[in-house]
Structure 1
Amino acid sequence: MQMSFRWYGDRDPVTLEQIRQIPGMEGIVTAIYDIPVGDVWPFEKIMALKEKVEAHGFIISVIESVPVHEDIKLGLDTRDHYIANYKQTIRNLAKASIQTICYNFMPVFDWTRTRLDAPLPDGSHSLSYEEDTIKEMDPLSGELTLPGWDLSFQTVELKRIMDRYQQMSEDTLMQHLVYFLEQVVPVAEEENVFLAIHPDDPPWSIFGLPRIITGPHAVKQVLAAVDSLHNGITFCSGSYGANPENDLQDILHIAKERIHFVHARNVRWTGEKSFQETSHLARDGSLDMTGIMKTLIHHGYKGPIRPDHGRMIWGEEGRPGYGLFDRALGAAYLNGIIDAVHKGGSQ
């Protein structure tokens, strides 16, 4: 596997120089963050980012993400314009020899947590999600903002968009996703780019909004709808694993050769539809991280993998979930499992 690390660009407190010192680190997962959602990514900007990453001895292993415009998710008449822009961005990334794009199809809000600094018994803190707290929150109030969210909406516009989604079924949202894939996957095939849809996080409806990439049934549906190697998934253990009913091994077996990217993190279930993120160690959370890694290796997965959403430890401050220290420990742990399996340690 190609061990990789998420980097948020020059404003990221974690630098490429620091990431370079993590043993076994090969790739950088990043994006261009100053382009409005729906606009074409200029080739010149892509190359500037690539050259900066490569100057530190890395490759760009994945672009995470090229956001999907809300008009595409809503199925509006304007969606073809934004899909055409998405196609051109795929072409521009391919021209820069970038082959993997992670994206999601979550309406309005990206990954959602209710607390960014929930304490753990060892004195560290991490991201957590409490369903009862979400039920009491008003997403229009601005009281809940998280890294990665598109906050460009004005309140009136946000209410209008959310009202549209309230009338939308999950089946309709899935139809809009399939329409999008039918348009962009042929371009991905032509350019030899691999599209990897990220699961909804958490994998259930929030704020009354439909969510569809939630478990094995959805994975089957998406892969079958556009049957192409270039239409694949991001296997995120923490997102799928937040729901105890999801069989992660089942998802791994269903997707097999169409897993194009892996997010590895552990969570501990704390209640119905509630969880807290932990260290990557299998013993610290509710997920069998060792079993997940063994299955990926068994299926011959050699693509990019990144340690995901680390704790904040040793007094580190920075972007919640994206500190240096615990994600570096996570990478070392994952590399240890990989080495042990390859050297026969799984016997």
Structure 2
Amino acid sequence: MEYTWRWYGPADPVTLNDIRQAGATGIVTALHNIAPGKVWTNEAITERKKLIEDSSHRSSLRWSVVESVPVTEAIKIGSEHRDRDIAVFQECIHNLGANDIRTVCYNFMPVLDWTRTDLDYLQSDGSTALRFDQTAFAAFDLYILQRPGAEKEYSEEEKQQAKQYAAQLDEQQAQQLQQNIIAGLPGSDKDYSLQEFQEVLNQYQSVDDKQLRNNLQYFLEKVIPVAEDAQVNMAIHPDDPPRPLLGLPRVVSTETDAQHLLEMVDSPNNGLTFCTGSYGARPDNDLPGMIERLGARIHFLHFRSVQREGSNVNGSFYEANHLEGSADLVNVVKATVALEKKQRANGMNHPIPMRPDHGHKMLDDLHKKTNPGYSAIGRLRGLAELRGVEAALKGSFNI
């Protein structure tokens, strides 16, 4: 595997020098300063690449993966503007390939890129983690947002628990819950009102799972030929959490979903970002087996573990330490090492980029401003643990 690290650009409190010291060699980043639907020019890409790959340092880095080129809501909804936005996306892919950037992570999640109810869930050791609490989320949906039709999507028990949860929230706590959930909205540095958030959701009133899947196929049929020409691997990120939320459809939550996506356009350039946290939030996803079966089309790895609470697909979960929780990352790494060994035997000598995804906020980072899930020390611990597992498997066990 190629050890990579997500970096949010020059404003990230975790610097490129910090990343060098963490043991990563690849940078995963995006041009966050460019609005969705706008072209990433050759000049802008070259400038960022030069910053990352500055040869004056003894330990060099490379821009390994783009995460993410945004897919606009117009594309996901299939509105009259989608061809315009797809043309912009195509130009971005062409320009990235021209700059020797070969892997692009993207997602097709409506409205929210990720959803959590608590960004600082206290752990027994004093560190904090991201958490999705199903009851808290239902309380927001039913009693804070008051989304029309929401009551049809919850059981009577869930509604009663949510009502009790909402009743004990004071105004500040309710506002914090709202902010935590809307943090997954692209451009969430803006303060969205509940009305504005509902208006964004309303765009999907006529889009169900089937329509969203059709819109994804339309997008892939337009983009993958450009990616082939540019020699760029497209790697879709799964839904997070991997289930419907807020009445929004989801189409990349299970192994079956992933297989359908790969069959939409049967090209090596149409592939997956394999996120063990997102897929692992569902008890019916067999992570090592998915790597074995889908491995030829896995272009990027996100390694993290969540602790599921209960066996329900719609249950709560929180981000666990990387070698703890429900994901069984030891066997996931084992499956990955076996996959790469098989690929080398077939003449494919390109290691799969892997980054430690998320991490507990701990030690000095508890007193710093950090991007949710992306403090330095928690990810440093995760990367060190995962590298150790890989070294043991390749060394002592000769896998």
TM over 0.5: yes
- CA contact under 8 A between 1:265 and 1:307: conserved in structure 2? yes
Q: Report whether the alignment pairs 1:235 with 2:290.
A: no
- CA contact under 8 A between 1:125 and 1:313: conserved in structure 2? yes
**Structure 2: 5+ residue stretches without partners:** 148-174, 344-350
Q: Report whether the alignment pairs 1:280 with 2:322.
A: yes
- CA contact under 8 A between 2:112 and 2:184: conserved in structure 1? no
Q: CA deviation at 1:315?
A: 3.5
Which letter maps to 1:292? V
Residue 205 (structure 1) aligned to one of 244, 252, 259: 244
CA distance in 1 between counterparts of 2:377 and 2:191 reads 34
Number of corresponding residues: 344
Farther off after superposition, 299-308 or 110-119: 299-308
Farther off after superposition, 165-174 or 42-51: 165-174
Q: How does 1:92-171 map to 2 (within 5 A)?
A: 92-138=95-141, 143=179, 144-146=181-183, 149-151=186-188, 158-171=197-210
Farther off after superposition, 106-115 or 159-168: 159-168
Which letter maps to 1:251? M
Question: SS of the residue aligned with 1:212?
Answer: coil
Q: TM-score when scaled to structure 2?
A: 0.82
**Structure 1: 5+ residue stretches without partners:** none
CA distance in 2 between counterparts of 1:209 and 1:41 reads 29
Structure 1 residues 147, 135: CA separation in 2 closer, same or farther (over 3 Å shift)?
A: closer
Query: Which residue number corresponds to residue 179 of structure 1?
Result: 218
Q: CA deviation at 1:286?
A: 1.3
Q: CA deviation at 1:26?
A: 0.9
Q: Report whether the alignment pairs 1:78 with 2:74.
A: no
Farther off after superposition, 154-163 or 222-231: 154-163
Q: CA deviation at 1:158?
A: 4.4
Query: Which residue number corresponds to residue 311 of structure 1?
Result: 360
Question: SS of the residue aligned with 2:371?
Answer: coil
Q: Deviations over 1:240-296 (max 9, x none)?
A: 001112111232133111100000001111244210101111xx2111101001101
RMSD value over aligned CA atoms?
Answer: 1.8
Q: TM-score when scaled to structure 1?
A: 0.94
CA distance in 2 between counterparts of 1:76 and 1:158 reads 19
Which letter maps to 1:124? S
Query: Which residue number corresponds to residue 328 of structure 1?
Result: 380
- CA contact under 8 A between 1:220 and 1:254: conserved in structure 2? no
Computing the radius of gyration over CA atoms, which structure comes out larger, 1 or 2?
A: 2
Query: Which residue number corresponds to residue 70 of structure 2?
Result: 67
Q: CA deviation at 1:11?
A: 1.0
Question: SS of the residue aligned with 2:11?
Answer: coil
CA distance in 1 between counterparts of 2:394 and 2:292 reads 20
Q: Deviations over 1:25-69 (max 9, x none)?
A: 110100111111111111111111101110151001100000101
Farther off after superposition, 167-176 or 264-273: 264-273
Which letter maps to 1:296? T
CA distance in 1 between counterparts of 2:88 and 2:326 reads 41
Q: CA deviation at 1:167?
A: 2.7
Which letter maps to 1:41? W
Q: Report whether the alignment pairs 1:296 with 2:333.
A: no
Indicate the structure with greater helix content: 2
Structure 1 residues 161, 146: CA separation in 2 closer, same or farther (over 3 Å shift)?
A: closer
CA distance in 2 between counterparts of 1:148 and 1:125 reads 22
CA distance in 1 between counterparts of 2:398 and 2:123 reads 30
CA distance in 1 between counterparts of 2:92 and 2:292 reads 31
Which letter maps to 1:342? K
Structure 1 residues 197, 221: CA separation in 2 closer, same or farther (over 3 Å shift)?
A: same
Question: SS of the residue aligned with 1:298?
Answer: helix
Q: Deviations over 1:141-174 (max 9, x none)?
A: 8533326733369656643441231332111100
Q: CA deviation at 1:334?
A: 1.0
CA distance in 2 between counterparts of 1:180 and 1:149 reads 20
Which letter maps to 2:183? L
Farther off after superposition, 29-38 or 159-168: 159-168
- CA contact under 8 A between 1:216 and 1:254: conserved in structure 2? no
Which letter maps to 1:88? E
- CA contact under 8 A between 1:135 and 1:207: conserved in structure 2? no
Query: Which residue number corresponds to residue 34 of structure 1?
Result: 33
**Identity, % of aligned pairs?**
42
Q: Deviations over 1:273-327 (max 9, x none)?
A: 210101111xx21111010011011111721000011000114122221011110
Question: SS of the residue aligned with 2:49?
Answer: helix
Which letter maps to 1:196? A
Q: CA deviation at 1:346?
A: 6.3
Query: Which residue number corresponds to residue 7 of structure 2?
Result: 7
Question: SS of the residue aligned with 1:262?
Answer: strand
